Amino acid sequence: MGTTAAPAAAGGFRTTLKRGLARAAGSVPGEGATYLIYHRIGGGTADELDVATADFTAQLDLLADLPPGRVVPIDEATDRLAAGRRTPSTVLTFDDGFADVYERAWPLLKERGLPFTVYLASGHVGGEMRWEGSTAKGPAAPGLSWAQLREMADSGLCTVANHTRSHARPVLLTTAELDGCNDDVEEHLGTRPRHFAYTWGVPVPHMAVALRARFRTAATGEVGRNLPGSDPARFCRVPVRRTDPIDFFRAKLYGRLVPERAYARIVAAAKAVGARA
């Protein structure tokens, strides 16, 4: 079990920048389905996708205080969109299947009764989470076990979804990767995944037919909300990062994602000139 990362308040320039950008947030809940992306919780790394447990707790407290029906299972959000409803909905998603989701996020989610989805790279269950460019590129991090996944799924709060079997790079996405993950989940949990998330958030257009045949939805890493008429094979999501102060996190739920988009532009510009972002 890793150590808990420092709170986002200690995040330096990025946190300060986000506090300023958060002032541009709207005050009206964003319409449609907002998919929040998490990866690790309290893993003790400096990766931006490793959210400190204290910050995650504050975020869940904010979500738990929303009116009933705002934080919903992925299938309920999908049903609302299919019915043409623009009702504000928040869907919590965790990519990959790190064990710290069970160790640190699950007790907090269960306590608050908040539903969530785990996009699982099934070939790493019970082993180490390690692949090129992952949030596990530092010290070895364990994956969830099937027993942990079964406990969460049996609660009715957790939906287990497909994230390929090996966490295959987008250029290596195949039907074998999709079916292998589906088969693993069905064998161990008794259900076949109905939802998918692209690895690295990158859509793979030539796989669209295969994905539509297997899943209700496929989620990308493109920033945005999902409205009636959105392509269910290209749903957008909104990342949650280690250096997000609570006001910036709150801004993800309101308005037109102006702070999130502005931050993405600043990061892209910094990377273009070789700065670390």
Work out the pLDDT band at 268, boundaries 50, 70, 90. confident
pLDDT at 272: 82
Closest by CA position to 76, among listed 58, 62, 90: 90
- 49-53, 202-206, 269-273: segment of lowest average pLDDT: 269-273
Q: Give the helix ranges, DSSP H, for 65-218.
A: 74-82, 99-100, 106-112, 146-154, 175-189, 208-214
Backbone angles phi, psi at 162, to 5 degrees: -95, 130
* Residue 193 to residues 145, 188, 205, 275, Cα–Cα distance (Å): 17, 12, 20, 40
User: For 143-152, how does the pLDDT look when each residue is reduced to its tens digit (9 = 90+)?
Assistant: 999 999 999 9
* Confidence at residue 201, expressed as pLDDT on a 0 to 100 scale: 96
Which of 181, 193, 182 has the alpha carbon at shortest distance from 153?
A: 193
> Distance between CA atoms of 117 and 277, rounded to whole angstroms?
28
Q: Are 159 and 73 in contact (CB under 8 A)?
A: yes
pLDDT value at 48 more than 60? yes
- Looking at the chain, the whole-number percentage of residues with pLDDT higher than 70 is 92
Q: Report the SS3 class of residue 27.
A: coil
Beta bridge partner(s), residue 219: 197, 235
